[in-house]
Amino acid sequence: MKTSLRAALMLTALGAALPAFAADPVKIGMITTLSGPAGYLGADIRDGFALAMKDGTLGGVPVELMVEDDALKPGQGRQIAERFMTNEDVKLFTGIVFSNVAGATVPDIVDNGGFYVSANAAPSNMAGEECHENYFAIAWQNDSLHESGGLVANELGYENAFILAPNYQAGKDALTGFKRTFKGEIAGEIYTRLDQTDFAAEMAQIRAANPAMVYQFHPGGLGIAFMRQYQQAGLLGTIPMVVSEPSLDAVILKAVGDAALGINVGSHWNADFDNEANKTFVAAWEQAYGADRPITTYAEQGYEVGLLYASALEATGGDIADEDAFREALRAADFASPRGNFSFGPNQHPVEDWFALEVVAGPDGTPMLQTKSKVVENYGDFYSEDCQM
């Protein structure tokens, strides 16, 4: 599929009776990662967002979704944003997966009067002193994602942990977040490269340290490589692992298979959540993309960004020129979330519940993620008190 999907995703309901308040489609720019080992992350965000669109509309307002690939390059993400703003007059944005791309791109968007709703990347600096009234994060603040992993490890009673993550903003936030809530000792701490595929040296260091458990954050293709090499090194059966949801999404789980059985996961969402909004989302995904395409957290994130934008567009009649009114409509978060409990905190990052999941054998024997318990509820983030809007 081509990385520029503007023509394919101009989903305006041609020929249909359009609402009187929306003479022209509202443009939404999606900058996301569609190529390389992490390409499926952006594809799932894109396709989850598309599920929220009803006949080319969000909240009854015609929209034009413009999608381009940042290729996990910060400079490329920034260039796409500048082109969208300058040439296309785009005001609404989403889609960035990686925090290094977000850091190079989002400030320009919001400083130029645009709105950015993050489906995934939510670096710590943008949640605190560098927060912005036009910047929202739908899924989490990076640290919070891994604070849940620390809480899961505490529940399981581990006394020490060897921790690893890639050496970029989200990786640093990951290990900071885990250490903030984990009550045990840190037996070792390693930052890997963001493009790393060979983890032999790290496996040797884990074996030498012989920790009670390993906590690692490696999303997308990195996660597949890490998990397979952990198994091949003979560590999976001897040293338990706790991860956050990006390190064991449904695609990674499918690639790893039975070797993942017993791994524990901290997560804000799972496909088995028993609420009507989630059932609607899961059913829509399966109908649109088939049972052979796993449903991931990234798809859920993209879908929720679509729901949030739909709620704000409906509340304002598609008028995004009144920035104050549109901002307040976003802050209201007037939609039913597949994750259940959700609202925005004072820094426009989520207040939500976090859960412990475990990889178990499903009814047909295939490994699946099963929700085991709620580890914390109405949980905000560490940086909100530093945000002054």
35 and 129 inside one domain: yes
Task: Find the Cα–Cα–Cα–Cα dihedral 83, 86, 90, 96, rounded to 10°.
Answer: 30
Reduced to 3 states (helix: H, G, I; strand: E, B; else coil), residue 29 is strand
Answer yes or no: is 346 within a domain.
no
pLDDT in tens, 38-93: 999 999 999 999 999 988 999 999 999 999 999 999 999 999 999 999 999 999 99
31 and 130 inside one domain: yes
Domain count, the chain: 2
177 and 258 inside one domain: yes
29 and 95 inside one domain: yes
289 and 380 inside one domain: no
The pLDDT value given to residue 3? 40
Handedness of CA 312, 91, 42, 125 (dihedral sign): negative
Q: Cα 270 vs. chain centroid, distance in angstroms?
A: 13
Question: Phi and psi (nearest 5°) for 342?
Answer: -160, 135
The identity of residue 160, as a single letter, is: N
234 and 372 inside one domain: yes
233 and 192 inside one domain: yes
What is the full per-residue pLDDT of the chain (389 aa) written as tens digits? 334 444 344 443 333 333 444 468 999 999 999 999 999 999 999 999 999 998 899 999 999 999 999 999 999 999 999 999 999 999 999 999 999 999 999 999 999 999 999 999 999 999 999 999 999 999 999 999 999 999 999 999 999 999 999 999 999 999 999 999 999 999 999 999 999 999 999 999 999 999 999 999 999 889 999 999 999 999 988 999 999 999 999 999 999 899 899 999 999 999 999 999 999 999 999 999 988 899 999 999 999 999 999 999 999 999 999 999 999 999 999 999 999 999 999 999 999 999 999 999 999 999 999 999 999 999 999 999 999 98
154 and 135 inside one domain: no
285 and 257 inside one domain: no
The pLDDT value given to residue 75? 98
The identity of residue 305, as a single letter, is: V
48 close to 306: Cβ distance less than 8 angstroms:
yes
The pLDDT value given to residue 53? 94
The pLDDT value given to residue 168? 93
Answer yes or no: is 347 within a domain.
no
The pLDDT value given to residue 23? 63
72 and 109 inside one domain: yes
Answer yes or no: is 348 within a domain.
no
Answer yes or no: is 294 within a domain.
yes
216 close to 247: Cβ distance less than 8 angstroms:
yes
Which 8-state DSSP code applies to residue 54? B
The pLDDT value given to residue 292? 86
Answer yes or no: is 272 within a domain.
no
pLDDT in tens, 134-146: 999 999 999 999 9
Which 8-state DSSP code applies to residue 125? G
Q: What span, in angstroms and rounded, lies between the C-alpha atoms of 110 and 112? A: 5
CATH code for the domain of 374? 3.40.50.2300
- Parent domain of 229: 143-267+353-385
Q: What span, in angstroms and rounded, lies between the C-alpha atoms of 212 and 184? A: 10
Q: What span, in angstroms and rounded, lies between the C-alpha atoms of 303 and 284? A: 10
360 and 216 inside one domain: yes
The pLDDT value given to residue 324? 97
C-beta pairs of 112-116 under 8 Å, 24+ apart in sequence: 112/85, 113/323, 114/85, 114/90, 115/91, 115/320, 115/323, 115/326, 115/327, 115/330
